[in-house]
Amino acid sequence: MKSSLALNILRISLFLVFIGLLLPISCNSNGYQMAQGILGNTEQAKNASFLSSVEDIYGYLMFGVFVFALIGLIITFLKNVNNNFYLGFACLIISFILILIIGNRLKIHFNFKEFKVYIIAGGIPIIVKLLIGWYSMIIGYILGTIGFILKILKKIN
């Protein structure tokens, strides 16, 4: 059976989100290291150890982003699952919501002119330049939305 364009776009988007979490996001730390920093595991956190003041639940939510992106990617390749596109898209949306919750907790403010993020940690502003992993995730979420719109438009026509 031939895969639809929308399903292939969703696969690419989930892959970009998952890979983006493994690439450096900020402070030369990837999503795994940032989650470890939030959980207080400084030996595994490397440059993200400053995040240890954030509550542990946000570290687990960061791991949830990994899990939902990977589950969504796997679901899209399973042929015998009904509505695998919609289940994969639901995983993409859940991972996006988790990122928003974590970002809100870290009080991230964007300055698109300089592509920097300002994090308020303990009342001290820290300027962090965003790295390739962040852009990979953003492109993945945008592609997932485009794939969903294409799927809906195909059903309407």
Predicted pLDDT at 14: 93
Predicted pLDDT at 110: 45
Predicted pLDDT at 121: 63
Burial (CB count <10 Å: 0-12, 13-18, 19+), residue 102:
buried
User: What whole-number distance in Å separates Cα of residue 97 and Cα of residue 35?
Assistant: 16
Q: Which amino acid is present at 156? A: I
pLDDT in tens, 45-90: 877 777 777 788 888 999 999 999 999 999 988 888 888 889 999 9
Q: pTM of the full predicted structure?
A: 0.78
Q: List, as one string, the DSSP characters of 10-58.
A: HHHHHHHHHHHHHS--BTTB-HHHHHHHHHT-HHHHGGGGGGGGS-HHH
pLDDT in tens, 83-122: 888 999 999 999 999 988 887 777 654 444 445 566 666 6
